[in-house]
Amino acid sequence: MKSTGLFEIPAVILITGMAVATGQTPTAATNAPPPNYDPVAVERGKTTFVGACGFCHGSNAKGGEKGPDLLRSVVVLDDENGNAIGPIILKGRPDKGMPRFPLTPREIADITAFLHNSIKNAIERDNYKILDIVTGDPKAGAAYFNGTGHCNSCHSVAGDLKGIGAKYEPVTLQGRFLKPENLWTEGTPPHRVNAISVTVMLPSGESFTGTPVNYDDFNVALRDANGAYHSFTRRNGVPRVEIHNRLQAHVELLSRYTDADIHNLTAYLVTLK
């Protein structure tokens, strides 16, 4: 489920348009979320694992020359609190060439926590850590900013973007130029601004402009500069509605960026400390 994030108030209306589209890509919406494992036990378990098991199963438990990948092991997946892992460690698997390991109950519990925690990390994709994305050429990024991208027609590195590289992590910064927030504060006195505004043109010639509250084929509603709410029935496209997006240039860039442009621009913007 995701929001187009264009409207200030009726997020529920907008979110749901996309709700059915999310298909089979849930995050962690199970009845019983995976338990959290004690990080100290996980760390201890890792050390014990690397020493006792890593030679065959690999230091990350993903398998080595002799031992299988334990993160995809059905035995490990089905295990609860060491009830399957423990006996195998203690008795070994002579038929498969695995010796027995006389580990203590706590060592077994720690290894179990390490293995289950590693699986949990693979499952929980919303928590995957994004690595170093600053690989571009800052000079090429500056050229793009002032040239092909026309970024400088609205932005200034000495003005609104001053210090932007210190304000955000690179991945956040990149996300903000690809898909900027629709709401921000500006002006004197400071006031909230919505990038999207609508103008409703009545057949009488009267028109209303403001922040959209709803927009569909049957109704358009807005809040004007004075905060007054106006709502209109629509039929066959009447009254006519114009949608203005102050961030339209960002939307249009999406089909024009190369990935190198994105990397270079990111590398340039992070230098604006």
Partner 1 sequence: MKIKLLISSLCMTMAGLAQMLDPALLTRPATDAWPTYHGDYSGRRFSTLTQINQSNVKHLTLAWIFRVHPGITPNAIVGGEGPEPQGPPTDPGTYTIKATPLMVNGILYFSTPDNAWAVDARSGRELWHFTWKGKGGDHIGNRGMGMYGNWLYFETPDNYLVSLDAQTGKERWHRNIADLKQEYFSTVAPIVIGNHVLVGVSGDSLDIPGFLEAHDPETGEIQWKWWSEPLKQGDPGFETWPDEYAMRHGGGMTWVPGSYDPDLHLYYLGTGNPNPVLTGRSRKGDNLYTCSIVALNVDTGKLAWYFQPSPHDTHDWDATQTPVLIDAEIDGKPRKLLGQANRNGYFFLLDRTNGKSVLTAPMIGTMNWSKGIAPNGQPIPDPAKEATIDGVLVSPQTGGATNWPPPSYDPETGLFYVGTSQEYSMFYLTDTDPHPEGWGAAERDAGHLGGDLEAIDIKTGKIVWDHHYPFTGGAVGILTTAGKLLFTGDGSYHLVAFDPANGDILWHAGLADDLSNGPETYMLDGQQYLIAGAGDSLYAFSLEP
Decide: is 233 part of the binding site for partner 1 (CB under 8 A).
no
2 forms part of the interface with partner 1 (CB under 8 A): yes
Residue 11 binds partner 1 (CB under 8 A): no
Residue 102's nearest CA partner among 40, 45, 50, 52 is: 52
Name 208's Cβ contacts closer than 8 Å, sequence gap at least 6: 199, 200, 202, 222, 224, 230
- Could you identify the residue written with the tokens 């690595």? 131
* Residue 145-174 contact track with partner 1, rule CB under 8 A, x = bound: --------------------------x--x
Gyration radius from the chain CA atoms = 28
**Listed ranges 35-43, 89-97, 143-151, 216-224: which one lies at the site for partner 1 (CB under 8 A):** 216-224
Give min distance, CB of 235 to partner 1, in A. Answer: 9
**Stretches 87-95, 147-155, 184-192, 257-265: which one binds partner 1 (CB under 8 A)?**
257-265
Strand order in the sheet with 240-245: 229-233, 219-223, 207-215, 196-201, 240-245
Task: Give SS3 for 129.
Answer: coil
Cα separation, 220 vs 257, whole angstroms? 33
Select from 24, 36, 104, 226 the one that contacts partner 1 (CB under 8 A): 24
Residues within the interface to partner 1 (CB under 8 A): 2, 4, 6-7, 13-14, 16-26, 29-32, 60, 62-63, 69, 71-72, 74, 77-78, 119, 122-123, 125, 128-136, 171, 174-175, 178-179, 214-218, 236, 243, 250-251, 254-255, 257, 259, 262-263
